């Protein structure tokens, strides 16, 4: 049954031709069995063919087929061809034009539908003794099917236009959402680039200070000068690594910010951040596992920002009496972060790829930062309620 339905939908014109042939056959039988004069039966042939042709091609050219049906009806009145089975085509073409035709054709179909029964009754009065009241009743009864066909077709036109508007609106909203996501990604990358720029500038400043100190104590304290040179070497390598990441980030044409370069937040300042959050009323459990050790500046900055954004989301969406926990785990080759809360949490759709937290596009920023250092991020509702954000940051920059 489904295959038959699919076939009908794929070949609408073929289906119309089939019904036109059926209508032609039934009309032929009606004309042959008619007891009218031979001239009238002969005149009925082109009328029947015209009406059946209107049914066959109603989807291809609805306006032209309406004019053909009107011409066939006029010819039928002029040639004294009494109504027969073929006149059912007028109902079909009225519905078709009202549903998919031009507006002028739809109005013409409605006018013809209102006049057809009256003209037919005037041309071929019924042999009744009920007087004019019965004739008016017959006209009304014959007009109702035509009006219903037009109303049904016009309703389908309105419904189709409504769904078309809904699809267009959904497509427009999707495009706007994609555009907003792209703008958010660009803005976040620009912010990350500025922060990495500050990190690199701070490292270079350290190198300059150490170089000046080494030059000053070169003769008096060679060991101290050697230590300064080693510091310059390690700091330079770290600055180069951060610079490579910096070059991969899209920068915007924002105006230069004045002021001295200062170090960006690092892992050691996470504890201060948590203490600030606790002062706002959010209970946070903080724990460090493994042996703390120096990390690349980009990794430390990323870890700090992830914890900061995760706790901000908890305050926004966790609801009253929510609690959170933060875990920092030092592995041999990376730093693990686990931030959980037991609050209500935001809708999961806000945390999917390309989603936003409703204001600051926080998850986009997290994914961009983690991707910058070659790490992985997993975020979503946790069993039992609340939300979980887990990240793994490698200690070596990704190539």
pLDDT surpasses 90 at 373: no
Residue of 236 and 340 predicted with greater confidence = 340
Token pair for 144: 């109702």
Q: What is d(CA 60, CA 66) in angstroms, rounded to the nearest whole number?
A: 12
pLDDT surpasses 80 at 87: yes
pLDDT value for 98: 92
What value does the mean pLDDT take over residues 297-318?
85
Measure Cα distances from 266 to 45, 177, 236, 249, 260 in Å.
93, 33, 18, 20, 18
pLDDT surpasses 80 at 94: yes
Q: Give the strand pairing for 387-394 and 334-341.
A: antiparallel
pLDDT value for 355: 44
Q: What is d(CA 361, CA 367) in angstroms, rounded to the nearest whole number?
A: 10
Nearest to 288 by CA among 345, 334, 328: 328
Of 28-37, 274-283, 284-293, the one with minimum mean pLDDT is 28-37
What value does the mean pLDDT take over residues 274-289?
87
pLDDT value for 11: 82
Q: Give the strand pairing for 283-289 and 323-330.
A: parallel
pLDDT value for 353: 42
Measure Cα distances from 157 to 71, 97, 154 in Å.
25, 10, 5
Long-range contact pairs involving 171-178 (C-beta distance under 8 Å, separation at least 24): 177/354, 178/354
What are the tens digits of pLDDT across the range 133-176? 777 888 888 899 999 999 999 999 999 889 989 998 998 898 88
pLDDT surpasses 70 at 16: yes
Mean pLDDT (the chain, rounded): 80
pTM of the model: 0.49
Nearest to 282 by CA among 353, 340, 217, 347: 340
Of 42-46, 83-87, 340-344, 348-352, the one with minimum mean pLDDT is 348-352
Q: What is d(CA 8, CA 383) in angstroms, rounded to the nearest whole number?
A: 49
What value does the mean pLDDT take over residues 287-310?
87
Give Cα 185 to chain centroid, integer Å: 18
pLDDT surpasses 90 at 319: no
pLDDT value for 389: 92
Residue 10: count of CB within 10 angstroms of its CB? 9
What are the tens digits of pLDDT across the range 217-270? 777 777 777 777 777 777 776 666 666 666 555 444 444 443 444 456 788 889
Provide DSSP, 236-295. HHHHHHHHHHHHTS----PPPPPS---PPP-GGGHHHHHHHHHHTT-EEEEEEES-----
pLDDT value for 242: 65
Percent of the chain with pLDDT over 70: 82
**CB burial class (10 A; 0-12, 13-18, 19+) of residue 88?**
middle
Of 287-296, 299-308, 340-349, 380-389, the one with minimum mean pLDDT is 340-349
Q: What is d(CA 7, CA 357) in angstroms, rounded to the nearest whole number?
A: 47
pLDDT value for 166: 92
pLDDT value for 14: 86
pLDDT value for 362: 67
């Amino acid at each position: 049954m489904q295959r038959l339905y699919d076939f009908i939908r794929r070949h609408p014109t073929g289906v119309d031709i089939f019904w036109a042939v059926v209508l032609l056959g039934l009309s032929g039988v009606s004309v042959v069995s008619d007891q009218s004069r031979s001239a009238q039966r002969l005149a009925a042939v082109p009328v029947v063919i015209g009406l059946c042709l209107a049914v066959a091609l109603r989807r291809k050219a609805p306006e032209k087929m309406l004019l053909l049906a009107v011409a066939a009806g006029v010819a039928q009145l002029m040639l004294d061809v009494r109504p027969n089975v073929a006149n059912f085509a007028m109902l079909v073409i009225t519905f078709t034009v009202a549903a998919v035709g031009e507006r002028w054709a739809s109005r013409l179909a409605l006018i013809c539908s209102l006049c057809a029964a009256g003209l037919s009754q005037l041309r071929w009065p019924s042999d009744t003794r009920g007087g004019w009241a019965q004739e008016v009743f017959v006209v009304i009864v014959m007009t109702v099917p035509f009006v219903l066909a037009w109303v049904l077709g016009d309703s389908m036109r309105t419904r189709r236009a409504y769904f078309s508007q809904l699809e267009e609106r959904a497509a427009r909203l999707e495009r706007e959402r994609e555009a907003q996501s792209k703008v958010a990604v660009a803005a976040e990358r620009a912010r990350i680039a500025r922060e990495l720029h500050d990190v690199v500038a701070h490292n270079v400043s350290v190198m300059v200070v150490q170089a000046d100190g080494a030059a000053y104590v070169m003769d008096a304290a060679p060991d101290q000068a050697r230590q300064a040179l080693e510091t310059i070497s390690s700091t330079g390598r770290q600055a180069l690594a951060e610079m490579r990441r910096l070059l991969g980030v899209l920068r915007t044409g924002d105006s230069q910010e004045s002021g001295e370069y200062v170090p960006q937040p690092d892992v050691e300042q996470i504890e201060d951040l948590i203490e600030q959050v606790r002062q706002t009323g959010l209970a946070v459990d903080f724990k460090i596992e493994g042996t703390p050790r120096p990390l690349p500046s980009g990794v430390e900055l990323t870890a700090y920002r992830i914890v900061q954004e995760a706790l901000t989301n908890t305050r926004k969406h966790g609801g009253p009496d929510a609690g959170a926990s933060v875990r920092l785990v030092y592995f041999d080759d990376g730093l693990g972060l686990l931030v959980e809360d037991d609050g209500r949490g935001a809708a999961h759709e806000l945390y999917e790829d390309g989603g936003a937290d409703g204001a600051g596009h926080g998850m986009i920023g997290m994914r961009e930062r983690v991707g910058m250092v070659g790490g992985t991020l997993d975020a979503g509702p946790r069993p039992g309620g609340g939300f979980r954000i887990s990240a793994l940051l490698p200690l070596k920059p990704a190539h």
